């Protein structure tokens, strides 16, 4: 197995020492290998999230190009987004938005899959 010398902060060294003394790991190398596995997993997950976001952005742009949008005043945006139902196979993000789009001229555009009940539509 390859070996490397690495520099740690005092806090990192103390953390590893505590993990070994508590019995979670047999030695420092085992703790560092576990930390690297977690980092690798997080990077894979992050890459998948980026890929998913790019697909969502592409779908949103394509919908805009087809004219599938509802204009919503800034003041009404939160309530409008809360009222949107997620499409099959998608999940709502924290604020209830599925695909927030750019603001323009003091108004926001929000893509609605159903185009029902446009809130704050301005002419």
Beta bridge partners of 100: 110
At 38 the pLDDT is: 97
pTM recorded for the entire structure: 0.55
- Confidence band (pLDDT; 50, 70, 90) for 9? very high
Domain ranges of the chain: 9-67, 68-123
Contact 121/80 with Cβ under 8 angstroms? no
Instruction: Kindly report, residue by residue over 10-27, the tens digit of the pLDDT.
Output: 999 999 999 999 999 999
Instruction: Kindly report, residue by residue over 26-66, the tens digit of the pLDDT.
Output: 999 999 999 999 999 999 999 999 999 999 999 999 999 99
Burial class for 72, CB neighbours closer than 10 Å (0-12, 13-18, 19+): buried
Determine the Cα–Cα distance for residues 118 and 22; give it in Å rounded to an integer.
58
């Amino acid at each position: 197995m390859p070996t490397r010398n690495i520099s740690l902060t005092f806090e990192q060294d103390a953390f590893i020492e505590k993990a070994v003394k508590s019995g979670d790991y047999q030695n420092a190398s085992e703790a560092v290998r576990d930390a690297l596995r977690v980092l690798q997993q997080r990077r894979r997950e992050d890459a998948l999230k980026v890929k998913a976001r790019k697909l969502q952005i592409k779908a949103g742009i394509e919908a805009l190009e087809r004219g599938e949008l509802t204009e919503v005043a800034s003041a009404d945006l939160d309530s409008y987004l809360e009222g949107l139902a997620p499409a099959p196979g998608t999940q709502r993000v924290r604020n209830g938005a599925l695909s927030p789009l750019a603001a323009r001229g003091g108004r926001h555009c929000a893509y609605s899959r159903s185009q029902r009940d446009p809130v704050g539509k301005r002419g």
